[in-house]
Amino acid sequence: MRVAFLGDIVGRSGRQAVVEQVPELRRRLDLDFVVANGENAAGGFGITGKICAELFEAGVDAISGGNHSWDQKEALSFIEREPRLLRPLNYPQGTPGRGAAVFEARRGRKVLLINVMGRLFMDPLDDPFAAVAREMARWRLGATVDFVLVDVHAEATSEKMAMAHVLDGRVSLVVGTHTHVPTADSQVLPGGTGYQTDAGMCGDYDSVIGVQKQTSIERFVRKLPTERMQPAEGPATVCGVFVETDDRTGLARSVEPIRLGGRLKPTLPDLALAAE
């Protein structure tokens, strides 16, 4: 299978770039499934039903969340009606929505998406390792599902890396979100799980992690309250991760970064460049 995961979508600029680029990415990479993290899609804070519909129409198959999942109050009810929108699995029992779901990809393949949030320097939610272990006890890669993707929404690189090594050999891809900066460590781990510490954001990189830079500078330099932070609205870079798996085992054959548009140096998997 060929799957693309796109990092945190930030504001209108990020949304527009994803909507424009996903159809072409699906064609050039012959993708079976596309996931995007949408927790900053609505002006940098949360997501709405209208935005979900725009992303689904463009070719995104499922949307994961994070610590901003509830910033738009409508999400509390909308998430119950939209099975393609997830929030972190390790929220306390009774929280609206779901943190894991199985989706049907192209050619009838089954994709398990798990969304979990870290605890280091984040809200003190339930243990993410235990939550993922309980969910994975229900499934077997290469048998009951064809692909397993785990979005670890976390601040600490060490926590993301530890999760990947715990799951190595049992899932197809572990990818980090939340820090909005693409890391240079895309790799296949010894057990066959694809990994990248952070997919980066889909947003304007002439910013401070997607926020208009002057507001952030004022907060750091003057230590005074400022106006509400607003997303930067310049040309966005679409950042993410591409993984190709073995159809028999569901484990990764290759993992490569995706960067298109905006300020960052573009890169696509070799197979897309060869098709040009």
- Point out the residues that are catalytic: 68
Contact predicate 32/2, CB 8 Å: yes
Judge residue 18's burial from the number of C-beta atoms within 10 Å of its C-beta, 0-12 exposed, 13-18 middle, 19 or more buried. Answer: buried
Phi-psi region of 61 (alpha: psi -120 to 50; beta: other; left: phi over 0): alpha
Q: Cα separations (Å) of 203 from 13, 80, 208, 222?
A: 6, 27, 11, 26
How far, in Å, CA of 61 to CA of 32, rounded? 10
The pair of three-digit structure tokens given for residue 211, joined into one six-digit string: 């926020």
Q: Which residues is 242 bridged to in the sheet?
A: 4, 256
Using the Cα atoms of residue 156, residue 160, residue 165 and residue 167 in order, give the sign of their dihedral. positive
- Helix (H) / strand (E) element for 132: namely helix 128-136
The DSSP letter of residue 69 is T
- Nearest Cα to Cα of residue 19 among 33, 3, 29, 6: 6
Which residue intervals of the chain are DSSP H helices? Answer: 11-29, 49-58, 75-81, 128-136, 157-167, 213-222, 270-274
